Amino acid sequence: MNPIAKRLLSAASKYPDVTAYRTSMRSVSYSELFGIADRLSTDLNLKGTSPVIIKSRKTPETAACIIACVLSGRAYVPVAPDIPAVRLDTVISRTGSELMFDDGSFISVTKSSDTPDDTFEDTAYIIFTSGSTGIPKGVPISYGNLDNFITWISGLCPLESYRNTAVFNHASFSFDLSVAAMYYAWCGGHTLVDADTNVLSDYTGILDIFGKACVEVAVMTPTFANLCLLDRSFCAAVLPSLRCIYFCGEQLTVRTVERLWAAFPDLRIINAYGPTEATSAVCAANITPDMLTKPYLPIGTANGNAVDISVENGEIVLRGASVFRGYLGEEKAGCDANRYRTGDLGYTEGGYLYCTGRIDDQVKYKGYRIELSDIENNLNLIPGVRQSAVTAVRDVQGQVRYLKAFIAAEALETEAIRAALKETLPEYMIPKIITVTDKLPVTVNGKTDRKALT
Ligand code: AMP
C-alpha cells in the first residue's frame, strides 16, 4: 500500500464521525466519504490501469474519487470542469487515459495512439500547467513526493497545533494549492470546507460557508483574500473562529497583510512558496509585524523546509524529496538530477528567503500560472494571424491586473480572435484587451519590441 493511502486510512479509522468534506450543499463524514471511495475503487479496479482524469466539480463524489484513486494506487489527473476540448485532448494523449470521472460517474475516453510508454505505477497525480510552447505540460507527482510534502505541511507552525478543525479551500482541484488544503485536512482528521464553483461568484455565499463551518484555517491565494476583503463582513467580529491563513501560489503583499490584520487583529499568516513541480509548497514564513517595513515579505526560512533550497545566480533552485522527476513525455526535461530550477528570482537575507519575480515571461494572474508565450503560440495558430505578443498590465504593487494582446493580422475582428482562442485556452488566459495592427514593432535585433507595446 502506498504511504498516502496509509495516511488517509489511518485518519478515516480514527475519526469516522468527523465531517471530512463540506460544501454549501452537502456534508459527509469520514466514514461516508470513504464508503463512497470504496465503491468507486471497486469500479476503478475493473477499468484498466491508466491514469483517471477527474473533472474537478466540488462534490463529495469528486472528493471520494480522488481518495479512491489513491487507495487503488491509480494516478489521477484533475482538470477544470470547463477545460477546452483541445486541452483535454492533450491531457488524454500525454497521459494515455482511458477513463474520466465526470458528474459522479466514470466514462470511457478514447485512448490516443501516440501515448508515451509510462506505467505511472508510482504516480499519485498529474497536474497540467501552462506550457511556453502553447501545449500544457504534465507534472507527475509521485507518492514519495506527496508523502514528503504532507510530512512538511502537517508539521508546519501553527498548522501542527490544530485538532479536527475546519480547513477552507477555494482552489480548483486542478490547481495545486488545493493539494495543500486537501491532504493537510484529510491526513489530519480535519474537515475540508470547499467553496463550490458557483459560490465563487457570490462572496456572501463564501462568508456564509466560512461562518457556518466555523473555519479556523483557510488556504488561499492573496488574490482571493483581496476579493474577500472587499466585503466588510470579512472580519473577526463576523468570523471569530478564523485563526490562520495559509497563503501560497503568488506574491503576498505588505498591503494585503495590513488589511488582513486590520480586519483580524490576531490572525496567524503563513506565506508559503513552491511550484507544482515540487509538490505544492516547499517552504514558508510566519509573517510578523516587523516584516512589513521591507518591500517583500519572506517566503521561507533557512531550516525546516520540505527540500534543499539554494539561490544560484539569483534563481531559486530546489533539490530533494518533493521535486518531480520531469515533465510527462519529456523525462528529465525541467529537472536534472532531482534539481529543479524554478525560474523565480530570489535572495536570502537575515535567515529568510525572498522571491522578487520571474526570470522569464511566466505570470500569475488571479492566482493562475500563465506563460505569456502559451497565449501567443495559440494566437499564432488562428488563420490570418501573422504575429502576436501578449503583455501583462500590472498595478503599482506589481500584481497583474489584466492581459493585453497585440496582433499583426489583416481583416480579423477582435471578437473572432477571442472566439477562436476560447476553443484552445481556458477563460482566464483570454486577454482582456486585444489590439489588431498591421505589424508589431521590432528591436534592432529583429525581435518583437515588447517595451514599445503599450
Ligand atoms: P504553481 O505551479 O501554479 O503553484 O506556481 C508556482 C509559482 O508561483 C512559483 O514558481 C512562483 O513564481 C509563484 N509563487 C508561489 N508562491 C509564491 C509566494 N509565496 N510568493 C511569490 N511567488 C510565489
| Claim to verify: residue 349 and residue 374 sit in the same structural domain | no
| Claim to verify: residue 116 and residue 194 sit in the same structural domain | yes
Nearest CA to ligand 1 atom 10: 275
Which of 125, 251, 307 gets mutated to test ligand 1 (max ligand atoms within 8 A of its CB)? 251
3-state secondary structure at position 137: strand
Pocket around ligand 1 at a 6 A CB cut-off: 129, 176, 248-252, 271, 273, 275-276, 299, 342, 344, 355, 358, 364, 369
| Claim to verify: residue 303 and residue 378 sit in the same structural domain | no
| Claim to verify: residue 52 and residue 163 sit in the same structural domain | yes
Q: How far, in Å, from the CA of 275 to the mean position of ligand 1? A: 6
Residue pLDDT tens, the chain, 454 long:
999 999 999 999 999 999 999 998 899 999 999 999 999 999 998 888 899 999 988 999 999 999 999 999 999 999 999 999 999 999 999 999 999 999 899 999 987 766 666 779 999 999 999 999 999 999 999 999 999 999 999 999 999 999 999 999 999 999 999 999 999 999 999 999 998 766 666 667 788 888 999 999 999 999 999 989 999 999 999 999 999 999 999 999 999 999 999 999 999 999 999 999 999 999 999 999 999 999 999 999 989 999 999 999 999 999 999 999 999 987 556 677 789 999 999 999 999 999 999 999 999 998 899 999 999 999 999 999 999 999 999 998 888 999 999 999 988 899 999 999 999 999 999 999 999 988 898 888 777 888 888 7
* CATH classification of the domain holding 425: 3.30.300.30
Q: How far, in Å, from the CA of 435 to the mean position of ligand 1? A: 29
Domain final residue pick, 333, 353, 373: 353
| Claim to verify: residue 284 and residue 370 sit in the same structural domain | no
DSSP state of 136: P
3-state secondary structure at position 301: strand
C-alpha dist (Å) from residue 284 to 37, 224, 256, 369: 32, 19, 17, 19
| Claim to verify: residue 258 and residue 117 sit in the same structural domain | yes
Q: How far, in Å, from the CA of 323 to the mean position of ligand 1? A: 15
Which of 324, 369, 371 gets mutated to test ligand 1 (max ligand atoms within 8 A of its CB)? 369
Q: How far, in Å, from the CA of 250 to the mean position of ligand 1? A: 5
Which of 130, 224, 254, 273 gets mutated to test ligand 1 (max ligand atoms within 8 A of its CB)? 273
| Claim to verify: residue 207 and residue 101 sit in the same structural domain | yes
| Claim to verify: residue 172 and residue 217 sit in the same structural domain | yes
| Claim to verify: residue 291 and residue 375 sit in the same structural domain | no
Rg (CA), the chain: 22
* CATH classification of the domain holding 195: 3.40.50.12780
Preceding peptide of 222 cis, ω within 30°: no
Ligand 1, closest atom to CA 299? Answer: 19
| Claim to verify: residue 119 and residue 211 sit in the same structural domain | yes
Nearest CA to ligand 1 atom 7: 275
| Claim to verify: residue 144 and residue 246 sit in the same structural domain | yes
Q: Which residue range forms the structural domain that includes residue 47?
A: 3-353
Which of 223, 279, 344, 374 gets mutated to test ligand 1 (max ligand atoms within 8 A of its CB)? 344
**What is the Cα–Cα distance from 317 to 339, expressed in whole angstroms?**
7
Amino acid at 174: S
Global pTM value? 0.95
**What is the Cα–Cα distance from 343 to 339, expressed in whole angstroms?**
12
Task: Say if residues 414 and 386 touch (Cβ distance below 8 Å).
Answer: no
DSSP labels, 245-269: EEE-SSPPPHHHHHHHHHH-TT-EE
Q: How far, in Å, from the CA of 371 to the mean position of ligand 1? A: 13
Q: How far, in Å, from the CA of 4 to the mean position of ligand 1? A: 24
Which of 280, 355, 397, 429 gets mutated to test ligand 1 (max ligand atoms within 8 A of its CB)? 355
User: Helix axis angle, 3-14 relative to 60-71, nearest 10°?
Assistant: 130
Residues 6+ apart with CB under 8 A from 385: 379, 407, 408, 409, 412, 417
Ligand 1, closest atom to CA 176? Answer: 4
3-state secondary structure at position 373: helix
Closest CA to 214 of 164, 278, 288: 164
Ligand 1, closest atom to CA 343? Answer: 10
DSSP state of 13: H
User: How many domains are there within the chain?
Assistant: 2
Nearest CA to ligand 1 atom 23: 250
| Claim to verify: residue 442 and residue 325 sit in the same structural domain | no
Domain final residue pick, 325, 353, 381: 353
Nearest CA to ligand 1 atom 20: 251
Burial of 115 (0-12, 13-18, 19+ CB in 10 A): middle
